[in-house]
């Protein structure tokens, strides 16, 4: 079950980690994302720009039907067709980026989903839980099933593996 992975892409050269858990299983208690990384990529997240140069690290099946754009961030590729992203420089300035996952939370989630466990797990799961306040705001201010209501906020929670289509 243990598998060593070496990540090499434009943002990371030769970073090695171990996958020690079964794919999609044995998550920390209370960490219950609605969506898998594959589902997120297919729905449309991060303007399609996020995973364009690191496909070798992740299962080929994740990219079948994924909405990606290697050239630029394109909000039209997002499920709600709005920009709900902050720039990577904002994330770095805020201290949200750690060297093991230079692309941020989604990269951490992809690796966690595939079985990597690390010392950063508790922090990232706390960040994921904090997004629940946005889910609560959508529930409070929108009619159930009204996908036109708070589209930017819905796209933002989609970036965190909450399925805002079910709110």
Does residue 95 belong to any structural domain of this protein? Answer: yes
pLDDT score, position 70: 84
Long-range contact pairs involving 40-45 (C-beta distance under 8 Å, separation at least 24): 40/106, 40/158, 40/159, 40/161, 41/66, 41/67, 41/68, 42/66, 42/67, 43/67, 43/79, 43/158, 44/77, 44/78, 44/79, 45/78, 45/79, 45/106, 45/155, 45/158, 45/159
In a domain, 19, yes or no: no
Within-domain flag for 25: no
For residue 104, give its domain range. 37-166
What pLDDT score does 62 carry? Answer: 96
Q: Count how many domains the chain has.
A: 1
Predicted confidence (pLDDT) per residue in 2-27, tens digit: 999 999 888 899 899 999 999 999 99
Residue 6 lies in a domain: no
Report if residue 16 sits inside a domain.
no
Q: Is 14 part of any domain? A: no
Per-residue pLDDT of the chain (167 residues; tens, 9 = 90+): 799 999 988 889 989 999 999 999 999 999 999 999 999 999 999 998 887 888 899 999 999 999 998 888 899 999 999 999 877 777 788 877 788 999 899 999 999 999 999 999 999 999 999 999 999 999 999 999 999 999 999 999 999 999 999 98
Q: Is residue 32 part of a domain?
A: no
Q: Check residue 86 and give its pLDDT.
A: 77
Whether 110 maps to a domain, the answer reads yes
């Amino acid at each position: 079950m243990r598998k060593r992975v070496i990540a090499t892409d434009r943002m990371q050269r030769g970073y090695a980690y171990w996958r020690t858990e079964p794919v999609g299983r044995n998550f920390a208690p209370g960490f219950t994302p609605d969506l898998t990384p594959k589902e997120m990529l297919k729905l449309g997240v991060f303007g399609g720009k996020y995973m364009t140069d690191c496909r070798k690290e992740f299962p080929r099946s994740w990219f079948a039907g994924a909405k990606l754009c290697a050239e630029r961030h394109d909000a039209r590729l997002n499920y709600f067709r709005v920009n709900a992203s902050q720039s990577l420089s904002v994330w770095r300035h805020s201290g949200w980026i750690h060297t093991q996952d230079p692309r941020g939370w989604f990269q951490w989630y992809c690796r966690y989903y595939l079985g990597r466990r690390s010392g950063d797990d508790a922090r990232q799961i706390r960040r994921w839980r904090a997004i629940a306040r946005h889910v609560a705001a959508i529930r409070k201010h929108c009619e159930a099933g009204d996908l036109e209501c708070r589209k930017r906020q819905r796209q933002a929670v989609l970036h965190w593996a909450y399925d805002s289509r079910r709110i």
